[in-house]
Amino acid sequence: MNAACTHLDHIHQVKPKTPEGCEECLKTGSDWLHLRECLECGHVGCCDSSPNKHASKHFRATQHPVMKSYKPGENWKFCFVDELMWE
């Protein structure tokens, strides 16, 4: 990786707010493809390949920049501001 995320100070040890799935999709009965967890507050939202794109909407609403894959066995993170992905 040539560049580094400049938002590492936003990463905290968090517990997922809705361990069973996307917080908003669970409320509305919507489906999702993959899940992302906000590393600032623990919000669990669906990915941009999902119909509602709640992880991106969470970033735009809160400006919490870093999220991670919520899929077991995947260890990557993504910073919305720096547009960087890393493990």
CATH fold label, 8-33+40-65+76-86: Herpes Virus-1 (3.30.40)
Structure tokens at 21: 């799935």
pLDDT of residue 32: 98
Q: Tell me, what DSSP letter sits at residue 71?
A: S
Predicted local distance difference test score (pLDDT) of residue 41 = 98
Q: 37 and 67 in contact (C-beta within 8 Å)?
A: yes
State if pTM tops 0.85: yes
Helices (H), the chain: 23-28, 54-62
Q: Which pLDDT tens digit goes with each residue over 2-57?
A: 579 999 999 999 999 999 999 999 999 999 999 999 999 999 999 999 999 999 99
The ranges assigned to domains in the chain are 8-33+40-65+76-86
User: What is the model's pLDDT at position 1?
Assistant: 43
